Each structure stands twice: as structure tokens, then as C-alpha cells.
Chain A
Amino acid sequence: QKEVEQDPGPLSVPEGAIVSLNCTYSNSAFQYFMWYRQYSRKGPELLMYTYSSGNKEDGRFTAQVDKSSKYISLFIRDSQPSDSATYLCAMLTTSGTYKYIFGTGTRLKVLA
């Protein structure tokens, strides 16, 4: 079993829709939870970063972490065609072994 699981998609939504992207994980030692966005043929770039459980909002983006369920989500409100990209979750633990793991990414297409 992979430590981080992410549905690869693709996920196609109409412009303006609310998008929900999710990852599950198995290692309870993960403390930091990140979402990266990767446009085609580019390197990933950090979108949001959360420590431990809870919600974090940044403009149209909301990240949620539920450590009890080992489940994290990224919500995109009022999705735009420019949001079309691959979204990768990533998780980090610094206690004991330093481990930074990426999900395989979910490909999102927002249709105009």
C-alpha cells in the first residue's frame, strides 16, 4: 500500500464549479500537509501549506486536514480555466526519519 493515495483523474468540471480534490494517507506521523499545482511541462509550485488538522483558506482555495481519518482535501471555488493543471498533495514528517512524500497527482480540467 502506498503511503499517500490520490485519484489520478482526469477530473473535468465546468467553469464556476466547486472542485474537491482529495488524498488519503497511512502514516500517522505526517505533520505537514501541502498542495502543489503543476502546469503541463513545468515544475510543481506550492499552493497551500497546513500544519496538523484544521482548515486554511487562501482566496478561492481551501485546504482541509482530518488527521483522525487520515484524509486531506483541497477545495477550489469558482473554478477558472486557468486552474486546469495537475494538483499534487504532499506530506511531511520531521519526527524521526525526515520523510516528504508526494501523491501521484489529480489532473483537473476546467471547461470554459
Chain B
Amino acid sequence: DSGVTQTPKHLITATGQRVTLRCSPRSGDLSVYWYQQSLDQGLQFLIQYYNGEERAKGNILERFSAQQFPDLHSELNLSSLELGDSALYFCASSVAVPGGPHEQFFGPGTRLTVL
């Protein structure tokens, strides 16, 4: 158990809908990362937050948004869902301070199925 929790485990929804994925980082970790993993694309970095502020942005679609709250949990919002958004969404957390350590601890993931 990495100490990172993600809810829900599974989500089935229809095209055009909006969903929210939730992540609680490990105790003491200030940085949260969101990744999308599909069979043909591997692990795609979406966005990183550090202590409530957006720190880095990857291949995140405009239909997707995220935030990190004062208690450090994070939410990833996916809207106007399309079939191609079906994937595993991972959240990871790390200490992310200069000098390391730089290990990312991954949650169990949320499997999103868009029908």
C-alpha cells in the first residue's frame, strides 16, 4: 500500500458527461501528479500541483481541469467526456523538494469507462 488513495475505483459513464476523480496524497507529501494510462499511449502526464499551486502541465486537454485543496487532496475534473477518454487515471504524490527524494508514490488508479 503506497499510502495514496483514489476514489472511485471504477467509474462508468456516458459520452458528454462530467466526472470528478479524487486523490489523497501520502501524509507529508506536498506534490500531487495526475496521469492517464491507456493501452496504446502508456503513462501520460497530465498535471502537477505543489502545495496548492499548479507546477507543471503535460498533455492535459482543455476539457480536463484539476485543483489541489488546502488539505492537499486533489480532484481531477473531466468534462464533455468522449469514448477516447476511457482509461486508467493515476494519481501520484511525492515530497518534491530540491535535493530529493524524488520517488513518486502511485495510488491504485481509477478506471474510467465512457460508453
A51 contacts across to B, CB distance below 8 A: 100
Report the minimum CB–CB distance from B51 to chain A (whole Å): 13
Question: In the complex, are the beta carbons of A102 and B43 less than 8 A apart?
Answer: yes
A59 contacts across to B, CB distance below 8 A: none
**Other-chain residue from A41, A45, A98, A103 in contact with B42 (beta carbon distance below 8 A):** A103
Q: How many residues of B contact A (CB 8 A)?
A: 24
Question: In the complex, are the beta carbons of A100 and B104 less than 8 A apart?
Answer: yes
Question: In the complex, are the beta carbons of B103 and A46 less than 8 A apart?
Answer: yes
Question: In the complex, are the beta carbons of A101 and B42 less than 8 A apart?
Answer: no
Report the minimum CB–CB distance from B59 to chain A (whole Å): 11
By secondary structure, the B interface counts as: loop
Q: Tell me whether B106 is interfacial, beta carbon within 8 Å.
A: yes
**Other-chain residue from A46, A92, A97, A105 in contact with B43 (beta carbon distance below 8 A):** A105
Q: Tell me whether A49 is interfacial, beta carbon within 8 Å.
A: yes
- Chain A residues within CB distance 8 Å of chain B: 8, 32, 34, 41-46, 49, 51, 88, 90, 92, 94, 97-105
Q: Tell me whether B74 is interfacial, beta carbon within 8 Å.
A: no
A103 contacts across to B, CB distance below 8 A: 42
- Given contacts A100-B104, A105-B42, 13 further A-B pairs with CB under 8 A are A32-B102, A34-B103, A42-B108, A44-B43, A44-B90, A46-B103, A46-B104, A49-B101, A51-B100, A88-B42, A92-B102, A98-B96, A100-B102
The docked-state distance in angstroms from the alpha carbon of A44 to that of B107 is 9
Q: Tell me whether B115 is interfacial, beta carbon within 8 Å.
A: no
- Chain B residues within CB distance 8 Å of chain A: 2, 4, 33, 35, 41-43, 45, 48, 55-56, 90, 92, 96, 98, 100-104, 106-109
The docked-state distance in angstroms from the alpha carbon of A100 to that of B96 is 11
The docked-state distance in angstroms from the alpha carbon of A49 to that of B100 is 11
| CB closest chain-B residue, reference A49 | B103
The docked-state distance in angstroms from the alpha carbon of A93 to that of B100 is 11
Report the minimum CB–CB distance from A7 to chain B (whole Å): 12
Report the minimum CB–CB distance from B30 to chain A (whole Å): 13
* 6 contacting pairs across A/B (C-beta < 8 A): A43-B4, A44-B90, A44-B104, A45-B106, A94-B98, A98-B55
B109 contacts across to A, CB distance below 8 A: 41-43
